[in-house]
Amino acid sequence: RLKLLEDNVNIFVPMIQKVIAHGFDGYFVLPSNPVDIMSYVIKRVSQFPKNKIIGSGTSLDTARFEFFLSRTFDVAPQNVYAPVIGEHGDSQVAVWSHAQIAGEPVLDLLNKGVDQTTFKQSIASQTTQVGYDIYVRKGTTNFGISLSLVRIVEAILFNKNVIMNVSSYLEGEYGLNDLYIGTPTVINGNGADRVIELKLEEDELTRFKQSSHIILEHQQRADALIESILNK
């Protein structure tokens, strides 16, 4: 996904400039990879407020995580709450400390004798890998991400106050600033209305910050590309 950065910045910057020049004052809802960084690119070029730019983030990763858990425990996916946060990519973080089925911690529901570490690694690996598997087999992951975008747009249009794990702009949450990253966010008629800062276990917070560093590193590349385009 990160390999798409240069091409998409070159496409997005002039496109955003044209859209703004024609008086656009709506919401940017995007799935384009690398989605966290492209959300930042739109904010920087458009100068729109943070609530009007929403990347699909880890919404699809969360749905996949919940699906694999639902299949393991033989329950419907809508009865599972299991957020994935961080980069929409290899450094994403499955938040096991908040993973629940009917209010019960998922790890407490494991059968005796099941190794928690092995189980967690298996589910997290499937969650990360399935997107690549779909891409290899059909060349795109269009249906899953389209459903995520529909949910975001419906939440804005109908003021639903839905909480989704999308790319949101951080201003101090988790001790981070000036980047878009996947985190639970309330979405309503105001767009990305507010970030829900999860209370993370120490290892989860460490991995989340490692994920943020990857985003920030590539964000610097995006800044350089933006400058070169704007100064042509």
Domain count, the chain: 1
Domain annotation covers residue 226: no
pLDDT (tens digit, 9 = 90+) per residue, 19-65?
999 999 999 999 999 999 999 999 999 999 999 999 999 999 999 99
| Confidence at residue 8, expressed as pLDDT on a 0 to 100 scale | 96
- The answer to whether position 8 is within a domain reads no
Q: Is residue 204 part of a domain?
A: yes
DSSP designation for 63: H
The backbone torsions φ and ψ at residue 55, rounded to the nearest 5 degrees and listed phi first, read -90, 155
228 part of a folded domain: no
Q: Is residue 175 part of a domain?
A: no
pLDDT number for residue 161:
99
* pLDDT of 113: 82
Task: Tell me if residue 98 is catalytic.
Answer: no
**Strands annotated E in 28-145:** 28-30, 53-55, 80-81, 84-85, 93-94, 100-101, 104-105
Q: What is the pLDDT of residue 128?
A: 86
Distance CA 84, CA 96 (A): 9
In a domain, 79, yes or no: yes
Q: Which domain holds residue 110?
A: 59-165+187-211
Q: Looking at the domain assignment, is residue 117 inside a domain?
A: yes
- Provide the pLDDT for residue 120: 95
**Structural domain includes residue 225:** no
DSSP H or E stretch at residue 71: helix 59-73
pLDDT value of position 131: 72
Mean pLDDT by 10 residues, the chain (232 residues): 86 97 97 96 98 98 96 96 96 97 94 90 90 74 88 98 98 98 99 98 98 97 96 84
What pLDDT is stored for residue 40 in this prediction?
Answer: 98
Q: What is the CATH number of the domain that holds 124?
A: 3.90.110.10
pTM, two decimals, is 0.93
Options 88, 98, 213, 218, the catalytic residue: 88
